[in-house]
Amino acid sequence: MNQLKYYFYPNPHDEYAWTKCPQCDAKTKLRKFCLMIHYEEKPLNFRRMLSMRMECKFCPACELVTKKKSEIETYLRELVESWGMTFNSGNYFVFGTMEMQDWKQNQQTPMQPSEALDKIAPFKDILDFKIQPAGWYFTGDK
Ligand SMILES: [Zn+2]
């Protein structure tokens, strides 16, 4: 069973750094998260799950993780183009996190995909996000 964890806000505004929490106005902290990303190119029937370690702004009281979309997309674009594909910002969503220790363990000794999926904590909610995770695995957990 996957435990839901954190709320996520993919920040579309480059001009806001969110030194304060957009929800409760408390000062945010910098914390490293291992973000889990789903990337999909429907016409090619291509799907891939990615993990990305990134420093995010975090409000412990709201359990809210924020990350600038542009920073996520810069990284993703490079990766997708390295696959010989064209990056499309409508093709991805960040759907959860993985504990850093699990991530490290997976880097050293890759887990079975099912085991790795068990370690993922999907977000409780994604704020201000338009894409609905279609055909993804976590529907039973809500
Ligand atoms: Zn807050």
| Mean pLDDT (whole number) for 53-71 | 94
Note residues around ion ligand 1 (Cβ under 5 angstroms).
Answer: 21, 23-24, 59, 61-62
**Which residues fall within 8 angstroms of residue 29, CB to CB, at 6 or more apart?**
57, 58, 59, 60
Report how far ligand 1's centroid is from the alpha carbon of 82 (Å): 37
In a domain, residue 104? The reply is yes
Beta strands in 76-133 (DSSP E): 92-98, 120-122, 125-126
pLDDT at 46: 92
Q: Tell me which amino acid residue 130 is.
A: K
CA distance 125 to 85: 29
Q: Cα of 77 to ligand 1 centre, how many Å?
A: 30
* Residue with the two structure tokens 């409000």: 59
Tokens (6 digits) for 25: 């106005």
- Assessment of whether the complete model's pTM goes beyond 0.85: no
Please choose, from the candidates 52, 54, 56, 45, the residue with its C-alpha nearest in 3D space to the C-alpha of residue 19: 56
> Please, what is the average pLDDT of the chain?
85
94, part of any domain = yes
57 part of a folded domain: yes
Amino acid at 23: Q
Domain, as residue range, for 40? 7-132
Enumerate the β-bridge partners of residue 31. Answer: 56
Lowest-confidence pick of 12-21, 29-38, 125-134: 125-134
Instruction: Tell me the per-residue pLDDT of 28-55, one tens digit each, with 9 for 90 and over.
Output: 999 999 999 999 999 999 999 888 999 9
Higher pLDDT, residue 140 or 21: 21
Considering the domain boundaries, does residue 46 fall inside one?
yes
Please count the structural domains in the chain. 1
CA of 58 to the centre of ligand 1 (A): 8
Q: 139 CA distance to ligand 1 centroid (A)?
A: 27
